[in-house]
Amino acid sequence: MTIKIKVENLNFYYGSFQALQNINIDIHENRITALIGPSGCGKSTFIKTIDRMYDLIEDTKADGTIAFEGINILDESTDVVELRKRIGMVFQKPNPFPKSISENVLYAVKRHGDQDKKDFPSIIENSLRKASLWDEVKHKLNQSAFSLSGGQQQRLCIARTLATKPDIILMDEPTSALDPIATSKIEELLQELKKEYTVIIVTHSMQQAARISDYTAFFLNGELIEFGETKEMFTAPRDKRTEDYITGRYG
């Protein structure tokens, strides 16, 4: 099994507050890794370190190693623009741009300028197909993205990420703003996506982690308490705190 990302001794600070403490974790290629834990445990902070989105928040600092294709993501010399193209992110609330559906898919493609203009129609179709949105929107590609339902908007956000040809997709509670039907559609979609991509998903729902992921990491108070195969963790947790959490004894 190939390890796509290797995290070693990761610490993260908001000002003087340490939000992550000495995290060590291996992210496996073409697998879904779920991050669970009560709110404020550091799971969202963790995925923000992987594509350096924390750069956008003032007064933050990370140290340690996140090894990805021979470089340390946390290095000052890492090209964050290139990095974020390779490691896509889907947010908690759907955040399509106020543009048409096709413009949303092409948004980053056009600005990266690394794909041929004559391929644009096929990029649109392929990305939307992979995000299982094509059949629902193929007749209205020029309509505003805001005309879509919440679940469709979220799949559009996945499609626009796929259009940049990433290796890894980070998802920060992508279904927390969606209804159960839209949620199950995204969950089905994830099983398709992992054939081509490595997925890391933050989720507030243990059931979701159990349903969809191959590996699960349990965070508590900025520490990684337990990490392992999902099946094992939910059937035989090694740590008492993990057990307490998955049996519902934390909030």
Residue 142 lies near another protein (rule: CB under 8 A)? no
**Least distance in Å: CB of 242 to another protein?**
30
**Cβ distance to another protein smaller for residue 82 or 119:** 82
Residue 141 lies near another protein (rule: CB under 8 A)? no
Residues in the chain: 251
Single residue of 22, 63, 79, 143 touching another protein by CB under 8 A: 79
Among residues 113, 35, 49, the alpha carbon closest in space to that of 83 is found at: 49
Listed ranges 30-38, 75-83, 179-187, 191-199: which one lies at the site for another protein (CB under 8 A) = 75-83
Please, which residues have CB within 8 angstroms of residue 215's CB and are 6 or more apart in sequence?
27, 28, 31, 32, 33, 34, 227, 228, 229, 230
Single residue of 18, 28, 30, 71 touching another protein by CB under 8 A: 71
**Least distance in Å: CB of 25 to another protein?**
19
**Least distance in Å: CB of 111 to another protein?**
4
Residue 177 lies near another protein (rule: CB under 8 A)? no
**Least distance in Å: CB of 101 to another protein?**
15
**Cβ distance to another protein smaller for residue 96 or 237:** 96
- Three-state secondary-structure class, residue 63: strand
Among residues 205, 212, 210, the alpha carbon closest in space to that of 187 is found at: 212
Letters for 41-60 (x = contact with another protein by CB under 8 A, - = none) are ----------x-x--x-x--
Q: Return d(Cα 51, Cα 69) in angstroms, integer.
A: 14
Q: Return d(Cα 125, Cα 220) in angstroms, integer.
A: 41
Residue 2 lies near another protein (rule: CB under 8 A)? no
For residue 162, count other CB atoms closer than 10 A to its CB. 22
**Cβ distance to another protein smaller for residue 61 or 111:** 111
For residue 6, count other CB atoms closer than 10 A to its CB. 14
- The one-character DSSP state at 94 is -
- Three-state secondary-structure class, residue 223: strand
- The one-character DSSP state at 144 is B
**Least distance in Å: CB of 169 to another protein?**
11
Residue 120 lies near another protein (rule: CB under 8 A)? no
Q: Return d(Cα 236, Cα 205) in angstroms, integer.
A: 18
Residues that bind another protein (CB under 8 A): 51, 53, 56, 58, 68-71, 77-86, 88-89, 91, 93, 95-99, 107-108, 111-112, 157, 160-161, 164
